[in-house]
Amino acid sequence: MTIHPSDIKTAQLHAYLLGAVAPRPICFASTIDKDGHANLSPFSFFNIFGSKPPIAIFSPARRVRDNSIKHTLENVIDNKEVVINVVNYAMVQQMSLASCEYPKGVNEFEKAGFTAIASEMVKPFRVKESPVQLECKVLEVKETGNEGGAGNLVICEVVCMHIQDEVLNEAQQIDPHKIDLVARMGGDYYCRASGDAVFTVNKPNMNLGLGFDALPLSIKNSSILTGNNLGQLANCTSIPLIDLDYSPSEISEAAAKKLLDENKVDEAWQVLLRL
């Protein structure tokens, strides 16, 4: 399938984009209107775009069906402040409830059963149940268009960050299994970023990976090893020497693949070099 955006309806294109560009982190945005009324709404057009200064951007897009704008957008234009609360699995159903299009002035904290707590440096409230809350000043709101589906990039500077102690590991870093974040997919789908869904990819960091082109031809032309398997081998900084003390019970490409699937790259090399 090949799609040219101008050839299909915006709603259909919107669905394809949300299905393809996923999972997306969720910005659970707390704002206040010019009369001081609290508003709480989730947005999945969201990410972090720097750390010095710490910049977050989310987009309350114009509604596709009627080109109307959301209360959150009105509020950040009026007040230039927002709290971005991250969403974990324990609060995902309540967060979804807060996305209902309640009339202006309705407090989604109350509707969705969340606890509003005071912020330190901005006026909007924080969501107590959120494992991480980012107090932000709005630097700019950039429109990308004026038709239904157009984005409005809310560019924010994080001025204060709150992290629940319960999601930290012994090194005082955020543990992905403890924070248990959820992310938005297409349609009604979400994904849970913990447990078996979380995995590691070893990178050479400052050292250069040797690359696919440097892999021995016999390995590169394997009918068993996948692109991911070859990527693991090519990410190493060099082809290791054969370890004469290493004597695997089975020498085969299948055995090497099993080791790679278990992320045992050094052991897999020792098998492959003996073939």
What's the pLDDT tens digit per position in 98-155? 999 999 889 999 999 999 999 999 999 999 999 999 999 999 999 999 999 899 999 9
Looking at the fold, whether 111 and 224 belong to one and the same domain comes out as: no
Is residue 124 a part of any domain in this protein? yes
Please tell me the distance from the alpha carbon of residue 112 to that of residue 131, in angstroms, as a whole number.
17
Is residue 103 a part of any domain in this protein?
yes
Q: Give the tens place of pLDDT for each residue, 263-273.
A: 999 999 999 99
The percentage of the chain sitting over the pLDDT mark of 70, rounded to a whole number, equals 98
pLDDT value of position 211: 94
* pLDDT of amino acid 248: 67
Secondary structure in 3-state letters for 76-130: HHHHCEEEEECCEHHHHHHHHHHCCCCCCCCCHHHHHCCCEECCCCCCCCEECCC
Q: Is residue 200 included in any domain, yes or no?
A: no
On whether both 12 and 128 belong to a single domain, the answer is yes
Average pLDDT over residues 242-247: 74
Question: What pLDDT sits at residue 187?
Answer: 93
The whole-number average pLDDT for the span 16-38 is: 96
Range of the domain at 63: 5-194
The answer to whether residue 135 sits within a structural domain is yes
Going by pLDDT thresholds of 50, 70 and 90, the confidence category of residue 9 is very high
Mean pLDDT confidence for 194-206: 84
Enter the tokens of residue 144.
């990308």
pLDDT tens digits along 140-196:
999 999 999 899 999 999 999 999 999 999 999 999 999 999 999 999 999 999 999
Tokens 């012994």 belong to residue: 170
Unique residue bearing structure tokens 């492959």: 272
Q: Give the per-residue SS3 of 220-269.
A: HCCCCCCHHHHHHHHCCCCCCCCCCCCCCCCCCHHHHHHHHHCCCHHHHH
* Residue 258 resides in a domain: yes
